Amino acid sequence: MKYDDVIEEISGYVTEDRTFSADTLDIALLILKDSMGCMIKSLDNPQCQKMLGPVEAGGFREDGMPIPGISGPLGLLDASWNIGMLIRWLDYNDCFLAEEWGHPSDNLGGILAASYHVSSRGTKVTVMDVLQSMVKAHEIQGVLSLSNSLNRAGYDHVFFVKIATSAVVSEIFGGDAEKVKSTVSNAFTDGAPLRIYRHAPNVTTRKSWAAGDATMRGVRLALLTDKLSEGYPNVLSEPDWGFNENMMGGNAITLPRKLDDYVVNNILFKADFPAEFHGQTAAEAAMALHREYRDKLGLIREIRVATHESAVRIIAGKVELKNPSDRDHSLEYIIAVSLLNGGLKTEYYADSYHDSHPEIDHLMSRMIVKEDEQYSKDYLDPAKRAVSNAVRLIFEDGQESEKVEVEYPIGHRFRRNEVIPIIDRKFENNLGSHFGEDKIRQIKNIFEDTDSLMKMDICDFMHEFQ
């Protein structure tokens, strides 16, 4: 049956028999490694700990999936929720920015859980298979993000996680093209969540677990559609009741480029410090200024910040920062703590840290944030994908610092050689928050033998993190 073109393209891409290049798979493996480290690091977060485990109390499954830091094995849906939540919680995993933005490794919650589920029941799924699914999920979410702005319609980017997870997990379960089309059409029929929990005065930790929820919903829809394959061929284009008319104000959802491996190869890694990605280069600029001017911060009259339009709209100008979820999505807060410390850690967003450092609010009160139109153009330029910020300090005596401009964050593809050793260090540090030296060495050795790793059963791989 013929579906809307976007759904046809997604289904054809997911179910086609193909192998990605060695270079693409190398980046995918680096993303998997980074995501697993982010998952382990989140186990230490007190708020995250409250959300761990089965959604229903006592809902462990004897034949389920073991998840690091959780006392018993979990069923498929609970496993996808917990993995997705842990990877995403600290806002420390990879990112892709365009008209919409998001974190494509969020899909690993559903991909890893579904792959484990299938492999543990007799159909072997290897780490290589997971990487193949991962590249496809990244591509679907990212290419949808290139030309379709959910945020301008008031909806949250995790909707594209649900779409991508539902498509690839349907295929992992053995779905053919028709089954995948039915599943994706049901995901569109579900609609998208509001962004309300990402913006003052309603910022909560839902922004940290929304991706886990989205990837779990994608798995659930794949399961339901597998039982009775019913779909909605014109779910996007139907003039009265369709998605385009009712969710996007009449704007058609599009795929502006052929689905391939563009997104993985243009992924943005969060390297040494956790900050919302629109503010990553601002943090780098502020850290550079700290080295020169850390003893003169009390004499600053004005801090001039030039940034791109998306940063102005999403993370700048917040009147009140009530909690860590507010602070790690504040451009001004990110700059202030980076100026103050010459670095940035998750702990700097905590209530206790903020309350004991009044100089942070003082620095923030000195900031003037303005859009640089060229930065905004470079942000959307597919050949650049810049995430530019610049910071200059003006002192009370009239002296000025140099303008420190950073166009490409350290996790950008133009700086890929810089990021690999940093991701390795970040991975080891993240593991160190939960494991001892012997266990860390054991896990690191797995990643060093790439040939054996690619052939490893995904069940064995996940057990290594227990």
Parent domain of 331: 277-409
Boundary residue ending a domain (409, 432, 451)? 409
CATH code where residue 144 lies: 1.10.4100.10
Q: Tally DSSP H helices, then E strands, for the chain.
A: 22, 8
Is residue 272 pLDDT above 80, yes or no? Answer: no
Cα distance between residue 314 and residue 295, in whole Å: 31
The pTM assigned to this predicted structure is: 0.87
Cα distance between residue 108 and residue 226, in whole Å: 20
> Do 86 and 184 have their domain in common?
yes
> Do 291 and 353 have their domain in common?
yes
The total number of structural domains in the chain stands at: 2
Cα distance between residue 323 and residue 328, in whole Å: 9
Q: Which pLDDT band holds residue 52 (cuts at 50, 70, 90)? A: very high
> Do 10 and 41 have their domain in common?
yes
Specify the pairing of strand 74-74 against strand 60-65.
Answer: antiparallel
**Spatial CA neighbour of 201 closest among 56, 318, 327, 70:** 318
Boundary residue ending a domain (388, 409, 430)? 409
> Do 284 and 397 have their domain in common?
yes
| pLDDT, tens only, 197-244 | 998 889 899 999 999 999 999 999 999 999 988 999 999 999 999 999
> Do 98 and 223 have their domain in common?
yes
For residue 186, being part of any structural domain is answered with yes
> Do 368 and 241 have their domain in common?
no
Higher pLDDT, 251 or 318: 251
Task: Name every residue whose Cβ is closer than 8 Å to that of residue 63 and which is 6 or more positions away in sequence.
Answer: 73, 120
Are 190 and 221 within 8 A, CB to CB? yes
Does a cis peptide bond (omega within 30 degrees of 0) precede residue 201?
A: yes
Q: Which pLDDT band holds residue 379 (cuts at 50, 70, 90)? A: very high
Cα distance between residue 373 and residue 40, in whole Å: 39
> Do 208 and 260 have their domain in common?
yes
Are 237 and 244 within 8 A, CB to CB? yes
CATH code where residue 350 lies: 3.30.1330.120
Lookup: tokens for 293: 């001017």
